[in-house]
Amino acid sequence: MSSEAAEGNRLIIAVPNKGRMRDPTVKVLDGAGIRPLEGERVYFTKTTDPGVDLISVRAADIPVYVYYGIADLGVTGRDIVAETGLEVYELADLGFGRCDLVVAVRKDSGISDPAEIPHGSKVATEFPKVTTDYFNELGTQVETITLRGAVEIAPTLGLANAIVDISSTGTTLERNSLVAIGVVMSSSARLICNKISYKTKYDKIEALTERLKGLRS
Amino acid sequence: MKKYLFVEERFREVLKRWGYREVRTSTMDYFDIIRGGAGEGFTDSIFKVQDSDGRLLSLRGEVTTQIARMLASKAKDEGRLCYIANCIRYIEAKNLSLREYWQAGAELIGGERVASDAEAVALALEMLDSAGIPASVDLGSMSAIRELMDHFRIKDYRRVVKAISMKSVDELKKLTCDRHAIRAFSLLMSKRGKAEVVKMVSEEAGCLEGEWRYFRDLYCALDAYGYASRANVDLSTMRELEYYNGVVFELFLGGIGLPIGGGGRYDIMMEQFGLDSPATGFALSVDLCVRALSKSDNNGVGDDRVLRVFYEEGYMEKAVGLVRRLRSTGRACTLDKYKGEQAGLRVGERVVWIETGDEYEL
């Protein structure tokens, strides 16, 4: 495989190598007749569709691989695409992996709306760009603290006054005495596309997009 | 460096043949002037420094605004100008070299709309062809997007541009609930083809008749240049700079993940600088063209091997005569005193190839 693989006529799709998005992604591609020929530990594999190859990488890195044209297409969360800020096309909402990126505070904080979060507050998150953009738009200056996980414990430990984190059921927040007071964005899995690949492989990409959209409806 | 020079030379040859005069613009400008032309979004990303009197200066981030300003301040209505220049701006990348990049561009001031836009697109493609880069072009239209927004009474231009540039129906749905508008914009974002794409969107939306006629005529003109088959309409084609108000276009090549150039019509910026002249133009990324050459192993870059000529004691003048003759025929050569080198041409009583011992015919 060459760098900027998206050369030639083959389609390369970047899929999550693990995590909550992996299995539904494999399933939806399977529905479109694209099954990997090798196991999930392999980062590059041919598929049952002779015109399509898969690369398995971290979900958070998928927009990067697509933006630079290493992969033509990718499947990853809308929240992740927004966090990278990279310009890629979002061709389809694949419907799975639904979650909200929420602002949450301690239940006993007395705050019930993100606009009430005072200037200078510390906000812990795995999504610093989305968080900063959100509070800038709100007109509140906050200090964004980037964590790599377990964000929900930051308020209890005194690291932050609020968090911006993924919540699909709300149980993790509840367990940590937090309450969601606003939704920053709603997310689900997206089929993303490199802007140049879209032009150079339009027919194949459009046909695959329609196939995947068809599976959803 | 060899490939940079090759690309730039080829570009200059073509630009000259098309009657464009090369200009050099300043590295620094007053920031407020550039901001007026290029718009807030772009000017956020350019480097600023303070002058001794406190005024804010900016480093050159792109050249079109500078040329428009130059024409305005000199009240000239010169038709065709071009440049090859380095530009500098903040780009969030770990690769520092990306902060400085080379652009080759052309600006066509005045002229009839369709003919000028076709000339700009054709010239860009011919420049790339001349360097052995077989690019294609996608055409969009900022005026079509504005017209659709007005038609459906959608106000937030920036968010519409963001939604379209991501082909994101979700983002669009945040801006309007009008199903007719969503259908029209969805069609605009998903269809790609020849001028008929504009007709399709026009019929769905119930406006854009003028845009459809424009694109039909543009295709006739591009066909005359022989480039219609390499041009497609994708109305979600966008340019980052805010000064475009008509057609916009992006040039691309398979295997290079980013557009290698782009441009469009920017009459409104000319008006802002007090010039009542329509204008169209484009810029190509010299860096990406060089990258395209590296990937294609293009061997048209030329032979720049330098012949090493050595003189023995007492034969320097004879050797100077020889290198002068070689250089006059275009052959690159150096001249040094012989100190036992193993390759090159050795000038003594006889002139011999050091490697083979063969005599060189004078």
User: Domain check: are B118 and B156 in the same one?
Assistant: no
**What distance in Å separates the CA atoms of residue B61 and residue B140, rounded to the nearest whole number?**
23
- Is there a domain that residue B192 lies in? yes
- Predicted local confidence at residue A3, as pLDDT: 40
- Structure-block tokens of residue A104: 């949450």
Q: Looking at the predicted structure, is the pLDDT value of residue B299 above 70?
A: no
What does the pLDDT average to over B288-305? 70
- Is there a domain that residue B160 lies in? yes
- The partner residues of B49 in beta bridges, in order of sequence, read B57
Range of the domain at B348: 309-353
User: Domain check: are B221 and B344 in the same one?
Assistant: no
Task: Yes or no: say if A131 and A125 are a contact pair by the CB < 8 Å rule.
Answer: yes
Find the helix packing angle between B286-296 and B2-17, rounded to 10°. Answer: 120
Domain boundaries, chain A: 11-97+188-216, 99-186
Torsion of CA A170, A172, A177, A181, to 10 degrees: -40
Q: Report CA-CA distances (Å) from B58 to B43, B83, B313.
A: 9, 19, 57
Torsion of CA B74, B80, B86, B90, to 10 degrees: 80
Q: Which residues of A touch B169 (CB under 8 A)?
A: 93
* Closest alpha carbon to A192 in A11, A13, A56, A55: A13
Select from B45, B95, B169, B170 the residue whose CB has the most chain A CBs within 10 Å, as the one to mutate to test that interface: B170
Domain over A11-97+188-216 is classified CATH 3.40.190.10: yes
Q: Looking at the predicted structure, is the pLDDT value of residue B113 above 50?
A: yes
Give tens-digit pLDDT for B57-89: 988 888 888 888 777 776 566 689 999 998 888
Q: Which residues of B touch A202 (CB under 8 A)?
A: 192, 232
A82 and B CB contact within 8 Å: no
Q: Looking at the predicted structure, is the pLDDT value of residue B2 above 90?
A: no
- CATH: 3.40.50.150, 3.40.190.10, 1.10.340.70, 1.10.150.530. Which one for A99-186? 3.40.190.10
CATH number of the domain bearing residue B10 = 3.30.930.10
Q: Which residues of B touch A4 (CB under 8 A)?
A: 255-257, 295
Q: Which residues of B touch A89 (CB under 8 A)?
A: 166-168
When CB atoms are compared, the residue of B167, B168, B252 closest to A199 is B252
Q: Report CA-CA distances (Å) from B142 to B36, B137, B240.
A: 19, 16, 11
Q: Which residues of A touch B136 (CB under 8 A)?
A: 199-200
- Predicted local confidence at residue A2, as pLDDT: 39
Give tens-digit pLDDT for B233-258: 999 998 877 788 899 999 998 877 78
What does the pLDDT average to over B336-359? 90
- Predicted local confidence at residue A66, as pLDDT: 94
User: Domain check: are B120 and B257 in the same one?
Assistant: yes
Helices (H), chain B: 2-17, 31-38, 40-43, 64-73, 113-130, 142-151, 157-165, 169-173, 179-190, 196-205, 209-225, 267-272, 286-296, 316-328
Count of CB atoms within 10 A of residue A139's CB? 8
A87 and B CB contact within 8 Å: yes
User: Domain check: are B48 and B167 in the same one?
Assistant: no
- What is the arrangement of strands in the sheet containing A89-93, beginning at the earlier edge strand? A44-46, A52-57, A11-16, A73-77, A189-193, A89-93
Task: Yes or no: say if A74 and A64 are a contact pair by the CB < 8 Å rule.
Answer: no
B25 vs A57: which has the higher pLDDT: A57
**Chain B, nearest residue to A67 by Cα:** B257
- Structure-block tokens of residue B206: 């119930």
Q: Which residues of B touch A189 (CB under 8 A)?
A: none
Quick one: pLDDT band at residue B260, thresholds 50, 70, 90?
Answer: very high
Q: Which of residues 113-152 of A touch B (CB under 8 A)?
A: none
Pairing relation of β-strands A189-193 and A89-93?
Answer: antiparallel
- Predicted local confidence at residue B244, as pLDDT: 87
User: Domain check: are B148 and B214 in the same one?
Assistant: yes
- Predicted local confidence at residue B67, as pLDDT: 84
When CB atoms are compared, the residue of B136, B138, B255 closest to A4 is B255
Q: Looking at the predicted structure, is the pLDDT value of residue B94 above 50?
A: no
Q: Which residues of A touch B138 (CB under 8 A)?
A: 199
Task: Select from B239, B268, B285 the last residue of a domain.
Answer: B239
- Is there a domain that residue B163 lies in? yes
Residue pointed to by tokens 């006054």: A161
Q: Which residues of A touch B252 (CB under 8 A)?
A: 196, 199-200
- Predicted local confidence at residue B118, as pLDDT: 96
- Structure-block tokens of residue A187: 């997310």
- Structure-block tokens of residue B86: 């380095």
Give tens-digit pLDDT for B178-236: 999 999 999 999 899 999 999 999 999 999 999 999 999 999 999 999 999 999 999 99
A195 and B CB contact within 8 Å: yes
- Predicted local confidence at residue A5, as pLDDT: 44
- Structure-block tokens of residue B58: 């900016």
Query: Any residues with CB less than 8 A from the CB of B15 and at least 6 apart, and which?
Result: B22, B82, B106, B123, B127
Give tens-digit pLDDT for B124-172: 999 999 999 999 999 999 999 999 999 999 988 888 988 998 898 888 8
Task: Yes or no: say if B257 and A67 are a contact pair by the CB < 8 Å rule.
Answer: yes
Q: Report CA-CA distances (Å) from B70 to A11, A119, B76, B81, B147.
A: 46, 45, 8, 11, 31
- Predicted local confidence at residue B111, as pLDDT: 84
Size of the A and B interface in Cβ pairs below 8 Å = 60
**What distance in Å separates the CA atoms of residue B76 and residue B74, rounded to the nearest whole number?**
5
- Which H, E and C letters describe B56-125, residue by residue? EEEECCCCHHHHHHHHHHCCCCCCEEEEEEEEEECCCCCCHHHHEEEEEEEEEECCCHHHHHHHHHHHHH
- Predicted local confidence at residue A4, as pLDDT: 42
- Is there a domain that residue B290 lies in? yes
Q: Looking at the predicted structure, is the pLDDT value of residue B92 above 80?
A: no
Query: pLDDT (tens digit, 0 to 9) for every residue of chain A, 217 residues total?
Result: 434 444 567 899 999 998 888 999 999 999 999 998 887 677 899 999 999 999 999 999 999 999 988 999 999 999 999 999 898 999 999 999 999 999 999 999 999 999 999 999 999 999 999 999 999 999 999 999 999 989 999 999 999 999 999 987 778 899 999 999 999 999 999 999 999 899 889 999 999 998 998 876 5
Q: Do B257 and A87 touch (CB under 8 A)?
A: no
When CB atoms are compared, the residue of A85, A93, A194 closest to B257 is A194
Pairing relation of β-strands A162-167 and A99-106?
Answer: antiparallel
- Predicted local confidence at residue B87, as pLDDT: 87
User: Domain check: are B20 and B88 in the same one?
Assistant: yes
User: Domain check: are B167 and B178 in the same one?
Assistant: yes
Could you tell me which residues of chain B have a Cβ less than 8 Å from any Cβ in chain A? Answer: 92, 136, 138, 165-170, 190, 192, 232, 234, 252-259, 295
Task: Yes or no: say if A168 and A99 are a contact pair by the CB < 8 Å rule.
Answer: yes
SS3 label, residue A90: strand
- Is there a domain that residue B360 lies in? no
When CB atoms are compared, the residue of A7, A87, A201 closest to B165 is A87
- Predicted local confidence at residue B297, as pLDDT: 59
Phi, psi for B198 (deg, rounded to 5): -70, -40
User: Domain check: are B224 and B101 in the same one?
Assistant: no
User: Domain check: are B51 and B63 in the same one?
Assistant: yes
CA atoms in the 13 A half-sphere facing the CB of B263: 29
Number of folded domains that form chain B:
3
**Long-range Cβ pairs for the range B159-166 (8 Å, 24+):** B161/B238, B164/B188, B164/B189, B164/B235, B164/B236, B164/B238, B165/A87, B165/B236, B165/B238, B166/A87, B166/A88, B166/A89, B166/A90
